[in-house]
Chains A and B, each alone.
Chain A
Amino acid sequence: MVASRENSSSPGRIPALGLRLLGLIVISILLMYFDQRDNHLDTVRKAIGVAVHPVRVVVDAPVRFWNWLGESTTSRTDMILELDRLKAEQLLTNARLQKLSSLEAENARLRTMMDARTQVRDRTRVAEIMSVDANPYSHSLVIDVGTQDGVSDGQALVDADGVVGQVIEAGLLTSQAMLISDPDHALPVEVNRNGLRTIVVGTGEIDQLLLPFVVNNADIVVGDLLVTSGLGGAFPAGYPVAVVQSVTRNPHEPYAVVSAKPSASLGQVREVLLIFSTPSPGTEAEAVD
């Protein structure tokens, strides 16, 4: 900073402006270089992230207030209807759960027979999505939990219907997650019907995913459910990801054009489940950036 006071009529060359610019550009390039190469700068990022936290809270506040207002002014009849619906839903879910526990027991028995690692039920935690726009050019969201709640990079996010995305940057108080619809995101899946393994990548459209590596003669049809295969290590196996929407086979191309619709409602989630599971060793997170 220059000590002399600003005088709006002073015709001014700002001293050493070019030099300062040059210095800052060099620092920026070094920062970018190290940020790209490895994660030495994580602590810097986290520290600034904590400093920016109040701004995130301020941005999130109006939406939160609006939701709260909506909830607290819902009419009695609406509440009763909602309650009825939830009761019916719980009955259904419970009925399904009964079957699940017996299946789980059977699965565990078979696995011990095969000497495989027993699949424990994944530990989960509910996280709320903050209404903060992170990066306009990627499909990402900010959740209100961070490393102090045990969140770590690469952790999977699911909602009631399927996989939502994964944590790409765990901050101290909030974390950033990438949606499966991001063009930079790839996810190993298998077709639930026959175990055909492939990869689902995002398209940048919130309601469409692409399966670029399905060979023309592969057994895949419209309506097939794709579930996580657990191969990448970041996502535990068996969570629904998407339903195949269209299959176009072109004899001149090696691969068929297959698109799928995400099971999770990516555009309107408010709460997500974070899955804590021990990834299999020697594997990496699947973000292909």
Chain B
Amino acid sequence: MIRDRASRRLPVIITFLVGLVLTMMPLPDSVDPLRPDWLAMLVIFWAMQLPRTWSVGTAWIVGIVLDVTQGTLLGQHALALCFVAFITVRFHLLMRVFPMPQLTATVLPILAIYQFLLFWINGVAGVDTPSITYWGPVISGTLLWPFVVIILSGMRYRTRAGD
């Protein structure tokens, strides 16, 4: 039983690892400001689909790893991500029945809140805050959201990934 559960959790963990690779992948300077917040999108997806297993705790751990790899304040991404997970879990029943356009429109403010929290913590901590390009990931993340959902849902049913 335990083994069974572990083998179902593995695919989800792999998606987070792939997300981390995508986050750390070097991109040309012109595209870099538009790199979506892959990990935030993954947290939203899994917290929406399986909120009992993947919610604030997972989001926090993912955030700590992100803080280390990005060299930001330890706890910054962790705080922002677990807040994202919280909002998603709170509205997951609603979000599950939303049609895709409406769901995408819901993801936009969540990603915006995520960026705003990071931005705000930077401000409080006195880290130099960058220009308007800071909000690029929100736009690109929203535009890519439908594709992320299609890919992840397909993967979820194929591998029976879950709790």
A residues touching B (Cβ–Cβ < 8 Å)? 1-2, 4-6, 11-12, 14, 17-18, 20-21, 24-25, 27-32, 35-36, 41, 44-45, 48-49, 51-52, 55-56, 58-59, 63, 131-138, 140, 168-169, 176, 183-184, 204, 206, 267, 289
Q: What are 16 A-B contacts with C-beta separation under 8 Å?
A: A2-B53, A14-B52, A17-B55, A17-B90, A32-B74, A44-B74, A52-B69, A55-B17, A55-B20, A59-B21, A59-B26, A132-B24, A133-B27, A136-B32, A136-B70, A176-B71
Contact A17 B25 (CB under 8 A): no
Which residues, 10 to 49 on B, are CB-close (under 8 Å) to A?
17, 20-21, 23-27, 29, 32-33, 35
Q: Which residue of A2, A25, A169 contacts B71 across the interface (Cβ within 8 Å)?
A: A169
Contact B65 A52 (CB under 8 A): yes
Distance between Cα atoms of A5 and B163 in the complex (Å): 7
Contact A133 B32 (CB under 8 A): yes
Distance between Cα atoms of A59 and B121 in the complex (Å): 28
Distance between Cα atoms of A133 and B20 in the complex (Å): 11
With contacts A12-B52, A21-B83, A24-B57 taken as known, whether A55 is within 8 angstroms of B71 at the C-beta atoms is no
What does the 1/0 interface line of B134-163 toward A look like (CB < 8 Å)? 100000000000000000000000000011
Contact A28 B20 (CB under 8 A): no
- Count of residues in B whose CB is under 8 Å from the partner chain: 50
Q: How many A-B residue pairs have CB under 8 A?
A: 133
What does the 1/0 interface line of B59-82 toward A look like (CB < 8 Å)? 010011100111111111011001
With contacts A2-B52, A17-B86, A56-B24 taken as known, whether A135 is within 8 angstroms of B121 at the C-beta atoms is no
Q: Smallest CB-CB separation from B68: which chain A residue?
A: A48
Contact A168 B71 (CB under 8 A): yes
B residues touching A (Cβ–Cβ < 8 Å)? 17, 20-21, 23-27, 29, 32-33, 35, 50-53, 55-57, 60, 63-65, 68-76, 78-79, 82-83, 86, 89-90, 92-93, 121, 125-128, 130, 134, 162-163
Give the top 8 A-B pairs by smallest Cβ distance, nearest first.
Answer: A31-B75, A28-B79, A28-B75, A6-B163, A32-B75, A35-B74, A48-B68, A135-B70
Distance between Cα atoms of A1 and B25 in the complex (Å): 32
Q: Smallest CB-CB separation from B8: which chain A residue?
A: A6
Distance between Cα atoms of A250 and B159 in the complex (Å): 67
Contact B75 A20 (CB under 8 A): no
B92 to chain A, nearest CB (A): 8
B53 to chain A, nearest CB (A): 6
Q: Which residue of B26, B68, B93 contacts A49 across the interface (Cβ within 8 Å)?
A: B68
B78 to chain A, nearest CB (A): 5
Contact partners of A32 in chain B: CB under 8 A: 73-76, 79, 121, 125
A133 to chain B, nearest CB (A): 5
Contact B65 A48 (CB under 8 A): yes
Contact B75 A35 (CB under 8 A): yes
Contact partners of A206 in chain B: CB under 8 A: 29
Q: Smallest CB-CB separation from A136: which chain B residue?
A: B32
Q: Which residue of B26, B60, B71, B128 contacts A183 across the interface (Cβ within 8 Å)?
A: B128
Distance between Cα atoms of A11 and B60 in the complex (Å): 25
Contact partners of B134 in chain A: CB under 8 A: 137
